[in-house]
Structure 1
């Protein structure tokens, strides 16, 4: 589940650092990674390439790891490997052809249904063979199930795993389950899905977990819901935490007094310059708000708006994120603009009369002492004029502007998440020369230039590795998931009932003109004539 990273768990109890005996849980030994839905588009394009890059960097040692693909499609091991190969061999891995071949040999395929015992019993036998071949010591067997599947099959697959594929007591170790977003379609469906899966892995399993760990056993099951956005890398996104909490300048920037005097708006943007591209049937079921805004952009908003946590422990960070979400006021219809790009319904998998938005601009308002009166604008869309994900903080105009700078645009702090990861401050400087005139420029930290030779991991790599390590910082609790859905469910229901219609917009444009008008009403001033150019190496 894209961009983000959700962990459903008991809020007050399921804390890794509070588990009795948690220090005895092994993070070494036999590791079986099972990709469910292995023959699908997501697994080929994202999951397997992420696993390959982790393998290249030494995080998946071949003497410990085996990868299993599971799906209904009846193909052989070699057929699956050949399907994956083309997504591993690219510009990044052209010099690793031998590594590609070695990695593919770690993959074995098992075919079976998602709701019948036979396939999962066979899968369990194959996993056991791997564990035995690695001579796993007691308590050192690890199983990670990655769901590259639609949410409709989550409950049945979880039942099969719970009954047939959990770690056996003679090997112990852990079982962790990772699912892709979207997790439900609204508050009720998300809560229902949480309860269905929670009956198998969450609260009942946790109750058993305390007793088991007190006996120095390590049979555990974690349930992670990942909100992974392939276009929203978490390396620089989580730099927000460091930016927010370290350094006098940054603390001053977030000081309440300065904030009320200086900030005018915060804009969180996710743009794609392509349409649904063969995923029309899937996308039409969810739309841009469920696909991007309710999860990925809302997570970024939390990192931007949260207060300083007690510590950097995952639970303390998530406590502050939940407070932000619970402070968001109900969304007003007049502060929403929906769009649908022309040609979207030409996709044969999309219903002819589809009302699904492919573009949305939504203004959220946080009702607390720090952010009262500051609009947070979330904007996402497909088939636009550019591809980027960024956070844009715009400052108010300087009182008594004797240099007449307003016509050139406001000062802004921009965090570019992708592409060309960077943080830069747009500000007015003196135009070189003898005249006393101003020009807009920037103070620029471009990652590609500053950190040459350093690989910035893709979101899927980061979050899969965190799951293996048991690092829950990028995952979200059940109460956070509930709060996120509470914000958007009323709006989504109005859209589903056709009470709100998307406005047509041209492919390759900025989206509907009404969206820019909404931004202007919220106090946003566009900069004309200035374009940030990423530095070249």
Structure 2
């Protein structure tokens, strides 16, 4: 059976663990949090003594709760039933202290039930059992940001116990701009220590994002060439083939830059660009990520291309403003391409291009590292080598290299050397990002979570641009639903990022394909 790798220390944990999911009746809990907990449970990765407490304002029966939390879970009826035996639900407000007192009573009762464990004794008359280790409480906020500080305050006042290990998990968005992010962090720090706070960006739980550190620092070739002497440009691309799908009211408050770039993509960039950490310790890694972000000046509006999708050319798909929850005068971008510069010795002169769009022609998240032109006079004007890391939908790493085309002549072509993870590692489970991150929370590993100074630097980079957009100083170009993006998006990497398109025929699986083609 395929399972995650689990550290021996965590595998042996016998701690009493209570996981409290706030917002348990919401979509995030239903679609992500509970399926992640189930994946850990069926892989035998939750600590042995674990209770999962759902909490939300919705008054649900036990039957309604079970139906909701299992609606996105796949498993045998017996396994699902066993998982549900570890779960319960309490309804209450997020503002009333007495409701949190009731929740604490439920948690405490569950901890008492787990506090003794029968064991085998030499003396059959000795049935006392034994006490087990420390208590861990994980407070998972599957909530809108507006509820974070209220719930955190009530947890601290009515649930928190100093002799318990307390971990609070919050989901992005972490604020609306730099000032609101500072306010949120200030409020959280009144109630919880930084070591107790886990700011979740689920991209840091993705297998291929975790792989970047290994690829860079465990391979001599990449470690030696990962600088401005050899690399021309790096692109980080996020594409979704669907629009807001009825969630336009929520999305319109944020836009594509706040929703994707300021968090997900800047985290990927920080790992791609950071200096080698002293060790794989969480703080050493996060020190390096924060340090490289400090070298990035704020994004310039003149180095940005923004768009907003309209109805598809055939009229079958609605435009962004056709969503009844979106204001008709909305100036919120659904597409953005922009350039970031890192002004340090390693990366000076190498543009980092970010592109993100909704309602475009395909679904993919990739990193494209394009190396500089070959300096050899033997092969002038050949195409550049590229390294592509496909984060989703199918995890893979491949290189595009110049090769001799088979035959009697000396014609050159481009071809790919590909590592497709699902094909190569068929006996290994590729974990869901939320499951991987929850395991890190339980194991007290902060490596894949955002520290306060990282977050502040990310907002510093994007806040001036976001304020210009909010003030109506940016032009949004229309693009049809299902297209590649607004006019100029294809040329943007060449215009601003030193990108050079492949000039040779590109062969993949015995076929000539589009030079921008990404193997599936």
- Tell whether 2:289 aligns with 1:332: no
Partner Cα distance (1:56, 1:401) in 2: 58
Alignment length (residue pairs): 476
Which runs of structure 2 are paired with 1:64-463 in the superposition (5 Å)?
A: 64-89=49-74, 93=75, 96-135=76-115, 137=131, 140-167=134-161, 172-202=163-193, 222-229=196-203, 233-254=205-226, 256=227, 259-260=228-229, 262-342=230-310, 343-399=319-375, 406=382, 409-463=383-437
| TM-score calculated relative to the size of structure 1 | 0.85
Partner Cα distance (1:508, 1:524) in 2: 24
Q: CA deviation at 1:371?
A: 0.8
Partner Cα distance (1:330, 1:486) in 2: 7
| TM-score calculated relative to the size of structure 2 | 0.88
* Distance change in 2, residues 1:84/1:405 (3 Å): farther
Give the conservation status (yes or no) of the 8 Å contact 1:27–1:140.
Answer: no
Partner Cα distance (1:470, 1:69) in 2: 21
Secondary structure of 1:471's counterpart equals: coil
Partner Cα distance (1:470, 1:300) in 2: 22
Q: CA deviation at 1:403?
A: 5.2
Secondary structure of 1:292's counterpart equals: helix
Partner Cα distance (1:274, 1:234) in 2: 21
Give the conservation status (yes or no) of the 8 Å contact 2:199–2:451.
Answer: no
Secondary structure of 1:325's counterpart equals: helix
Q: CA deviation at 1:386?
A: 1.1
Q: 1:18 maps to which residue?
A: none
Secondary structure of 2:391's counterpart equals: strand
Secondary structure of 2:277's counterpart equals: coil
Give the conservation status (yes or no) of the 8 Å contact 1:112–1:118.
Answer: no
Q: What are the superposed Cα offsets for residues 109-141 of structure 1, whole Å, 9 maximum, x if unpaired?
A: 111111111221111111111001111647622
Q: 1:55 maps to which residue?
A: 41
Give the conservation status (yes or no) of the 8 Å contact 1:138–1:173.
Answer: no
Q: 2:451 maps to which residue?
A: 477
Partner Cα distance (2:464, 2:103) in 1: 42
Give the conservation status (yes or no) of the 8 Å contact 1:72–1:111.
Answer: yes
Give the conservation status (yes or no) of the 8 Å contact 2:207–2:431.
Answer: yes
Give the conservation status (yes or no) of the 8 Å contact 1:77–1:107.
Answer: no
- Tell whether 2:501 aligns with 1:526: yes
Gaps of 5+ in 1: 1-22, 204-220
Partner Cα distance (2:139, 2:346) in 1: 41
Partner Cα distance (1:110, 1:501) in 2: 48
Which structure has more helix as a fraction of its residues?
1
Q: CA deviation at 1:285?
A: 0.8
Partner Cα distance (2:297, 2:519) in 1: 37
Alignment root-mean-square deviation, CA: 2.0
* Distance change in 2, residues 1:293/1:183 (3 Å): same
Partner Cα distance (1:533, 1:240) in 2: 19
Partner Cα distance (1:125, 1:165) in 2: 9
Q: What are the superposed Cα offsets for residues 372-416 of structure 1, whole Å, 9 maximum, x if unpaired?
A: 11100011111111111111011222346765764xx53211111
Q: CA deviation at 1:431?
A: 1.2
Partner Cα distance (2:381, 2:23) in 1: 55
- Tell whether 2:67 aligns with 1:42: no
